[in-house]
Amino acid sequence: MSRPNTFRAGPDEHGHFGIYGGRFVAETLMPLILEVEKAYDEARADPDFQGEMKARLAQYVGRPNPLYFAERLTAHLGGAKVYFKREELNHTGAHKINNCIGQILLARRMGKKRIIAETGAGQHGVATATVCALFDMPCTIYMGEVDIARQQPNVFRMKLLGAEVRSVTSGARTLKDSMNEALRDWVTNVEDTYYLIGTVAGPHPYPAMVRDFQSVIGDEVRRQMQEMEGRLPDSLVACVGGGSNAMGLFHPFLDDPAVAMIGVEAAGHGVDKGPDAHAASITGGRPGVLHGNRTYLLQDEDGQILEGHSISAGLDYPGVGPEHSWLHDMGRVEYAAVTDDEALAAFQLCARLEGIIPALESAHALAEIVKRAPSLPQDHLMVLCLSGRGDKDIFTVAGHLGVTL
């Protein structure tokens, strides 16, 4: 494959990143997707839209959040200098709100009256319910029955915020099935409903749009690292469920060849422990078509989608954003996988060394840093996207540690 002049030009007008992406949806949805694309193209070029987004991110979300030098962790690992991009300090406790602010402004601009969303860990559901409260729009969140059980605090938060949480009992009852149900809702309520997708997946234009809204993460890191170290970072590490926090961190740096990037997937019980034991789509899957795009998927030989497993509800998805699939094939981004146990260890390490309880999702990225940092030189600047805080995960972690709360 020839190396393109830029890695930042995609997707093409059909929504393709190389062979990935596209618009694989039912005809009923096609006109809606074209409408979202048109509205987003207009909004993106509108200074008023950009201005309002910037103001909301500053005043409501609390941006910019810090780039923080994790001194004790760095000393403990004894190698690379580790920085945390503190997305967990955003209002609602994760990066998901960056995208929700952008999309709710778009939905309002389009005159939509009702919002639907899927959620896994509940972070995107909470962020969506939050912006719906702020903008006074009714909101329905689809969440798998299994995820509802393991993310009770977030379910209650969504309800407090006025959202209706619909339990999804089809399929594996996790994130992929919630996305199916949200698509079924959208196909049924085409007139007034906006589907607020929570990651860089789905049909075009969602992967590009969500990436653009999340790119504020990488833009800030670029500026902050210049201020703190006078240069660009050497490597960026982020967890990959659908891949939105990773795309947001990576995208502004894709054309800086000296900046290495590592996307960390969930290896669950281990990528070698069988196709249903992990949720590492790139590491352990192959290209296929699901939820509107072509991308790496966990699937059997016959093209049936597998359920996958991760301790982290937010990474428990059998697909990945199409741009990641392309960046993988192009060799621009490296993809690694971290097991449940490694993430649990990193989760506890971070709490004790830095006084920060990370989301289990983010703990996967941290676990990869724990593996790599010790053998890197001390002037190597490494950035972790600390995508969310871990309050939502304390019950899951307690359970794994044999503690009853």
Partner 1 sequence: MSTVEQGRIARRFAALRAEGRAGLVTFITAGDPDHDTCAALLKGLPAAGADLIELGMPFSDPMADGPAIQASDLRALKAGARVSRTLELVRAFRAAEADTPVILMGYYNPIYAYGVERFLADAGAAGVDGLIVVDLPPEEDAELCLPALKAGISFVRLATPTTDDARLPAVLRNTSGFVYYVAIAGITGTASADAVAVAGAVERLKRHTDLPVAVGFGIKTPDQAAGIARVADAAVVGSAIVSRIAANLDADGTARPGLVDDVLGFVRELSAGVRGARG
Ligand X SMILES: Cc1ncc(COP(=O)(O)O)c(C=O)c1O
Q: Give me the sheet containing 381-385, strands edge to edge.
A: 67-69, 81-85, 381-385, 235-239, 260-268, 334-339
User: How many residues make contact with partner 1 (CB under 8 A)?
Assistant: 35
28 belongs to the binding site for partner 1 (CB under 8 A): yes
Q: Is 96 a catalytic residue?
A: yes
Residue 316, number of CB atoms within 10 A of its CB: 27
Q: Could you say which of partner 1, ligand X, none residue 74 binds, taking C-beta under 5 to 8 angstroms by partner kind?
A: none
* Backbone angles phi and psi of 248, in degrees to 5: -65, -40
Q: Is 85 a catalytic residue?
A: no
- DSSP characters over 229-264: HSS--SEEEEE-SSSHHHHHHHGGGTT-TT-EEEEE
In the complex with partner 1, which residue's Cβ is closer, 29 or 344? 29
Q: Which 176-215 residues touch partner 1, going by CB under 8 A?
A: 176-177, 180, 183-184, 187-190
- Residue nearest ligand X, Cβ-based: 388
By the 10 Å C-beta count (0-12 exposed, 13-18 middle, 19+ buried), 303 is classed as exposed
Q: Which 192-221 residues touch ligand X, going by CB under 6 A?
A: 199
In the complex with ligand X, which residue's Cβ is closer, 121 or 260? 121
239 belongs to the binding site for ligand X (CB under 6 A): yes
The pairing of beta strand 139-144 with beta strand 164-168:
parallel
Kindly indicate which of the ranges 7-15, 110-118, 272-280, 357-365 contains the residues binding ligand X, using the contact rule CB under 6 A: 357-365
In the complex with ligand X, which residue's Cβ is closer, 237 or 376? 237
Kindly indicate which of the ranges 121-129, 151-159, 220-228, 346-354 contains the residues binding ligand X, using the contact rule CB under 6 A: 121-129
Kindly indicate which of the ranges 139-147, 219-227, 299-307, 334-342 contains the residues binding partner 1, using the contact rule CB under 8 A: 299-307
Please tell me the distance from the alpha carbon of residue 134 to that of residue 137, in angstroms, as a whole number: 8
Please tell me the distance from the alpha carbon of residue 124 to that of residue 244, in angstroms, as a whole number: 11
In the complex with partner 1, which residue's Cβ is closer, 172 or 338? 172
Write the DSSP symbol of residue 15. Answer: S
Q: Could you say which of partner 1, ligand X, none residue 24 binds, taking C-beta under 5 to 8 angstroms by partner kind?
A: partner 1
121 belongs to the binding site for ligand X (CB under 6 A): yes
Which two three-digit tokens encode residue 355? 């006084």
| Active-site residue, from 118, 354, 361, 368 | 118
Provide, rounded to whole angstroms, the least separation between the CB of residue 7 and ligand X. Answer: 19
By the 10 Å C-beta count (0-12 exposed, 13-18 middle, 19+ buried), 17 is classed as buried
Q: Could you say which of ligand X, partner 1, none residue 289 binds, taking C-beta under 5 to 8 angstroms by partner kind?
A: partner 1
From candidates 302, 355, 404, 405, binder to partner 1 by CB under 8 A: 302
Provide, rounded to whole angstroms, the least separation between the CB of residue 364 and ligand X. Answer: 9
Provide, rounded to whole angstroms, the least separation between the CB of residue 312 and partner 1. Answer: 21
Please tell me the distance from the alpha carbon of residue 21 to that of residue 325, in angstroms, as a whole number: 9
Instruction: Yes or no: say if 239 and 282 are a contact pair by the CB < 8 Å rule.
Output: no
111 belongs to the binding site for partner 1 (CB under 8 A): no
224 belongs to the binding site for ligand X (CB under 6 A): no
Provide, rounded to whole angstroms, the least separation between the CB of residue 168 and partner 1. Answer: 11
Please tell me the distance from the alpha carbon of residue 166 to that of residue 185, in angstroms, as a whole number: 11
From candidates 240, 344, 357, 370, binder to ligand X by CB under 6 A: 240
In the complex with ligand X, which residue's Cβ is closer, 233 or 314? 314
Going by C-alpha positions, the residue among 253, 255, 254, 277 that lies closest to residue 265 is 277
Which two three-digit tokens encode residue 189? 């309520």
Q: Could you say which of ligand X, partner 1, none residue 301 binds, taking C-beta under 5 to 8 angstroms by partner kind?
A: partner 1
Inter-CA distances, 110 with 39, 177, 178, 199, 293, Å: 7, 27, 24, 20, 24
Please tell me the distance from the alpha carbon of residue 384 to that of residue 381, in angstroms, as a whole number: 10
Residues 337, 341, 342, 344: is their CA dihedral positive or negative? Answer: positive
* β-bridge partners, 116: 140, 195
Residues annotated as catalytic are: 96, 118, 387
Residues at the site binding partner 1, with contacts judged by CB under 8 A: 14, 22-32, 170-171, 176-177, 180, 183-184, 187-190, 288-292, 297, 299, 301-305
Residues at the site binding ligand X, with contacts judged by CB under 6 A: 94, 120-121, 123-124, 199, 239-246, 314-315, 359, 361-362, 387-388
